[in-house]
């Protein structure tokens, strides 16, 4: 009986630890949802680099009703001009906040349809299943928000 209680206690602690880790980790694949149409636009894979920053690249482009996805970033400038959207890094430089482990700041997001880059702030919900993304120019009130849904 004592062994069973110890096993259950150990299992509970292990599961709670795994749950906390899962809710603050943004690495993985995310389905992007267009804030204007509500349709999914693609799948982005977020990875963490050795310096602790996060970046994301497009691993799948999803067709939407009435829209044929572009193959290249025609409106991008510099080295990204006319580069394939599939495989393109669109999220860069994100750092986990020291004040709130579910918040990520300091990075940028690129909209491959417009070629514009925006400052970005992200917040992971408590279950770790949704990532609320805010892209903005200058101050946060001048921008747009999207919710990304975890796929893995």
Which SS3 state, helix, strand or coil, does residue 16 take? helix
Evaluated on CA atoms 93, 96, 49, 150, the torsion sign reads negative
Confidence of residue 9 (pLDDT cuts 50, 70, 90): very low
Does residue 35 lie within any of the structural domains? yes
Domain range holding 66? 26-150
Give residue 15's pLDDT. 46
Number of domains in the chain: 1
Identify which has the larger pLDDT, 20 or 3: 3
65-99 confidence digits (pLDDT tens): 888 889 999 999 999 999 999 999 999 999 999 99
* Half-sphere CA count of 136, side-chain side, radius 13 A: 14
95-118 confidence digits (pLDDT tens): 999 999 999 999 999 999 999 999
Phi (first) and psi of residue 82, to 5 degrees: 60, 20
Confidence of residue 2 (pLDDT cuts 50, 70, 90): low
Does residue 7 lie within any of the structural domains? no
Does residue 3 lie within any of the structural domains? no
Which SS3 state, helix, strand or coil, does residue 21 take? helix
Q: Which residues contact 107 (CB under 8 A, 6 or more apart)?
A: 53, 54, 55, 91, 92, 93, 94, 95, 119, 120
**Using CA atoms, how far apart are residues 80 and 38, in angstroms rounded to an integer?**
27
Does residue 74 lie within any of the structural domains? yes
């Amino acid at each position: 009986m004592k062994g069973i209680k110890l096993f259950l206690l150990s299992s509970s602690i292990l599961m709670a630890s795994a749950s906390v880790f899962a809710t603050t980790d943004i690495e993985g694949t995310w389905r992007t949802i267009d804030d204007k149409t509500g349709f999914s636009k693609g799948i982005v894979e977020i990875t963490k680099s050795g310096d602790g920053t996060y970046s994301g690249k497009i691993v799948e482009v999803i067709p939407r009703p009435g829209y044929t996805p572009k193959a290249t970033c025609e409106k991008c400038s510099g080295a990204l001009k006319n580069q394939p959207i599939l495989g393109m890094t669109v999220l860069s430089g994100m750092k986990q906040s020291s004040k709130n482990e579910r918040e990520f700041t300091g990075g940028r997001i690129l909209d491959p349809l417009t070629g514009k880059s925006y400052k970005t702030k992200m917040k992971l919900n408590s279950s770790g299943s949704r990532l609320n993304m805010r892209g903005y120019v200058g101050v946060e009130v001048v921008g747009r928000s999207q919710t990304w849904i975890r796929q893995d």
